[in-house]
Structure 1
Amino acid sequence: MKLKLAERMENIKASEIRELLKLTEDPSIISFAGGLPSPELFPIEEISKIASETVLTEGKAALQYSTTEGYHLLREKIAKERIKGGFLKPEASKILITNGSQQALDFTGKLFISPGDIIFCESPTYLGAINAFNAYNPRFIELPMDDEGIIIEEFIAAIKKYPNAKFLYTIPDYQNPSGITLSIERRKEIARLSEFYELPIIEDSPYSELTFEGDMLPSIKSFDEGGYVIQLGSFSKTFCPGFRIGWIFAEDDILQKYILIKQGADLQSGTLDQRIIANYLKDYSLEKHILKLRETYRIRRDVMLDTMDTYFPKTVKYTHSKGGLFTWVELPSHIDTKVLLEEALQYKVAFVPGSSFFPTEKKNNFMRLNYSSMSEEKIRDGIIRLSQIISKYCEAAHTQEKKLIKV
């Protein structure tokens, strides 16, 4: 079949994570691949009760079209209860409900990017954002990070070199894939620079409430005096991803542009799902649910890191995230994790190769490991299996180096 497709389709590739998830439908595979919440922690009984009551008591409205902005009670709940980590008192009028924060990323690309435009991002960065933005043919400029997040001097140098850049995309809390958290001092400075240079900041914040150590840090948005910070949020990591409910929190003039885009895309997010979540938030404590997630994920993170400490070769480096869902693993430079994955799948272990998280200069010796969706026993077993494969690759390289030295 010959079709005359839009040029943008040349830049749209299948998500490696979504393709890997097809493989991991096999229950015998220990998957560290997707950023999946733990399914056994879903509040199924409560949701079942709320869903039934919502249909019975609000059915005529819940099954009808609704406003593009979203169900007002849900927007109020988000504004009052879910916008955290700062000193803001947001209003429901500044919230737009989206089909997950992934839709918000796509809308951001549609709103800001013309072909060839410069956009800044962390290096590495979220694969889903790369895929969403790539549809609009931007040019990515990757900003290096250290243990405190984006290096401010590098950010300033990039702004001066590319003064027409459209925005900075950042995940400040337990970054996907690295697990790094942006320090409070750098959050303040990024907010200040955004106003000074009139550069929008896209603050993607799905993990901020999944804090294992210490308190949540104030959001970048909380330091936003110029109105240039656009914050994206989601219920996917803290509640249930199947609802596909996220939001955009932005100032009125920017939010109106997003609303127009959503009207053209899908008119609105699902009315029933919005009302079910709003009624859950009204009748139950999402805070208690999140506390349960934090404790479970903290234990699983510790099991993963402790097992890696014991079994991984000492030449392998990895991050100790203080929250979120991931650890980021750096292997010796000669190891290609895509090749390693092929063998790992034979051992019934899956992960995401790191090259997918670099939009320009691919780095093949990294991998992302998720610890939220597997039991502690499976985590321990999977890491031991993975360590055996990694050790073999490291030993083979060491042997080859010895041969070269002798020659």
Structure 2
Amino acid sequence: MQFASRLDAIETSAIRELFKLLGKPGIISFAGGFPDSAMFDVDGIRAATERALSQDPGAALQYGATEGYLPLREQLAAFMASKGVQDAAPEQLIVTTGSQQALDLIGKTMISPGDKVIVEGPTFLATIQCFRLYGADIVTAPIDGDGVQTDVLEQLIIEHRPKLIYLIPTFGNPSGATLSRERRLRVLELAAQYQTLVVEDDPYGDLYFNAAPPPSLLALSSQVPGSRDWLAHCGSLSKVLSPGLRVGWLMAPPALLANAVMCKQFSDAHTSTFAQAVAAQYLQAGRMPATLAHVRQVYAERAQTLCDALRAQLGDAVEFVQPQGGLFVWLRLTGAGGKEHNAHALAQRAIERGVAFVPGAPFFAQNPDPATLRLSFATADVEKIREGVARLAQALNAA
């Protein structure tokens, strides 16, 4: 068969390929970016399902509007308003099949072959693949512990005149970095000044450990005149409620939303109405604050355990910034003491010792750093985390 030429620029996910190696009994995985299924609010979701089927079963089980199930859009607008988004309204958002579809719709509606797109280095692997599928020429903006470096970002905008800029400002995947409030405001100023679309991907913003992070770009846009016209926001219930529901949303300027709806009609007609009805009932029941409080506490303990163990077991052979939320710790191998400084080589030895992680190179659209790796603390309890780091130290010391 002769496949579409657009497939030539992409390859299968390195993370998905890694999962094929994880069938070994007893392996401890820091690889996946999944939430812990043990923390799903099963009782709350069950009750929401029963209400969806008892109150309006015809609507829950029937075809629905491409824009999304109106009761859910109303709940999501209220949810965003509670997080400081002014004038949040149902007509300003569409429901998507996870935030991944929101990114795909942005790719379909905005990117033509050869268009320049700026992303962080590193960034979410699936976004790199998605945008390349539509022919994007991807340019990387460097980040540090405070997120994207806005002075460099401005120079890249001037040089490349990108079609859009993609950022994960809060607890980034894979970096764990959080964009400072000052830099958030600067990003919004750049969007308005250069009339360049900024895509804010925010699946982790509610998973903070202690102090809440700065408000989202969308919430701050009211402080920067003209920036709301150049801002798209992708949200998701996957990390805070259930990824199996596949409920996300896209808030964007009206013209972009209209084109996204048109493209979604061709893709899936609409996100599962039943899943939307369950999510709407869940949000309406008011259980989300307690759910978030629980997962924040658990993930905070696991993140602290992982960072403490890394310092104790690996010492100066690694360097990292301790995350204040999200699901990930981003490490760089220093090579100190003659230890391994190539994450891919370390990953092979780690699997042999019963622990898995994701090498960092695939998360870079340009100039990959082979010394980097991503660890997720979400699905392992504290004892497994300590044991997993001990195994990782054994693999590192075997170099």
For residues 43 and 291 of structure 2, the distance between their equivalents in structure 1, rounded to whole angstroms, comes to 13
Provide the residue aligned with 1:34 in structure 2. 32
Provide the residue aligned with 1:377 in structure 2. 383
1:230-251 Cα distance to aligned partner (Å, 9 max, x none) = 0000000111001111000112
Question: Once the 2 structures are TM-superposed, how far is the Cα of residue 8 of structure 1 from its aligned partner?
Answer: 0.4
Conserved? CA contact 1:107–1:262, under 8 Å? yes
For residues 284 and 90 of structure 1, the distance between their equivalents in structure 2, rounded to whole angstroms, comes to 19
For residues 95 and 128 of structure 1, the distance between their equivalents in structure 2, rounded to whole angstroms, comes to 22
- Whether 2:398 is the aligned partner of 1:392: answer yes
2:11 to 13, 26, 30: 13
Which residue identity is paired with 1:71? Answer: Y
- Whether 2:177 is the aligned partner of 1:171: answer no
Provide the residue aligned with 2:364 in structure 1. 358
Q: Give aligned-pair identity as a percent.
A: 35
- In structure 1, the residue corresponding to 2:56 is in which secondary structure? helix
Question: Once the 2 structures are TM-superposed, how far is the Cα of residue 50 of structure 1 from its aligned partner?
Answer: 2.4
Normalised TM-score (structure 1): 0.93
- In structure 2, the residue corresponding to 1:248 is in which secondary structure? strand
Conserved? CA contact 1:337–1:353, under 8 Å? yes
For residues 278 and 23 of structure 1, the distance between their equivalents in structure 2, rounded to whole angstroms, comes to 37
Provide the residue aligned with 2:2 in structure 1. 4
Conserved? CA contact 1:84–1:219, under 8 Å? no
- In structure 2, the residue corresponding to 1:317 is in which secondary structure? strand
Question: Once the 2 structures are TM-superposed, how far is the Cα of residue 39 of structure 1 from its aligned partner?
Answer: 0.9
Question: Once the 2 structures are TM-superposed, how far is the Cα of residue 85 of structure 1 from its aligned partner?
Answer: 4.2
Which residue identity is paired with 2:103? Answer: L
- In structure 1, the residue corresponding to 2:389 is in which secondary structure? helix
Residues 385 and 87 (structure 1), Cα distance of their counterparts in 2 relative to 1, 3 Å cut: same
Question: Once the 2 structures are TM-superposed, how far is the Cα of residue 128 of structure 1 from its aligned partner?
Answer: 1.3
2:195 to 179, 194, 198: 198
Question: Once the 2 structures are TM-superposed, how far is the Cα of residue 47 of structure 1 from its aligned partner?
Answer: 1.6
Alignment of 1:323-342 (within 5 A): 323-332=325-334, 335-342=341-348
Conserved? CA contact 1:35–1:372, under 8 Å? yes
Alignment of 1:108-257 (within 5 A): 108-163=106-161, 165-224=162-221, 225-226=225-226, 227-257=229-259
For residues 360 and 62 of structure 1, the distance between their equivalents in structure 2, rounded to whole angstroms, comes to 45
Question: Once the 2 structures are TM-superposed, how far is the Cα of residue 26 of structure 1 from its aligned partner?
Answer: 4.8
For residues 68 and 143 of structure 1, the distance between their equivalents in structure 2, rounded to whole angstroms, comes to 34
Question: Once the 2 structures are TM-superposed, how far is the Cα of residue 131 of structure 1 from its aligned partner?
Answer: 1.3
Moved over 4 A (4+): none
Worse overlay, 279-288 or 202-211: 279-288
- Whether 2:75 is the aligned partner of 1:77: answer yes
For residues 241 and 171 of structure 1, the distance between their equivalents in structure 2, rounded to whole angstroms, comes to 19
Question: Once the 2 structures are TM-superposed, how far is the Cα of residue 83 of structure 1 from its aligned partner?
Answer: 5.1
1:18-40 Cα distance to aligned partner (Å, 9 max, x none) = 22234335552111011111111
- In structure 1, the residue corresponding to 2:398 is in which secondary structure? helix
Which residue identity is paired with 2:289? Answer: E
The size of the alignment, in residue pairs, is: 390
Question: Once the 2 structures are TM-superposed, how far is the Cα of residue 270 of structure 1 from its aligned partner?
Answer: 0.1
Provide the residue aligned with 1:402 in structure 2. none
1:273-316 Cα distance to aligned partner (Å, 9 max, x none) = 00011011112410110010000000000110111111003131
In structure 1, list runs of 5 or more residues that go unmatched. Answer: 394-407
Question: Once the 2 structures are TM-superposed, how far is the Cα of residue 84 of structure 1 from its aligned partner?
Answer: 5.3
- In structure 2, the residue corresponding to 1:61 is in which secondary structure? helix
1:308-351 Cα distance to aligned partner (Å, 9 max, x none) = 11100313101201100000000036622122111111111111
1:363-388 Cα distance to aligned partner (Å, 9 max, x none) = 21110000011111101100111012
Question: Once the 2 structures are TM-superposed, how far is the Cα of residue 86 of structure 1 from its aligned partner?
Answer: 3.4
1:298 to 290, 297, 300: 300
Residues 179 and 343 (structure 1), Cα distance of their counterparts in 2 relative to 1, 3 Å cut: same
Conserved? CA contact 1:114–1:138, under 8 Å? yes
2:318 to 309, 316, 319: 316
RMSD over aligned CA atoms reads: 1.5
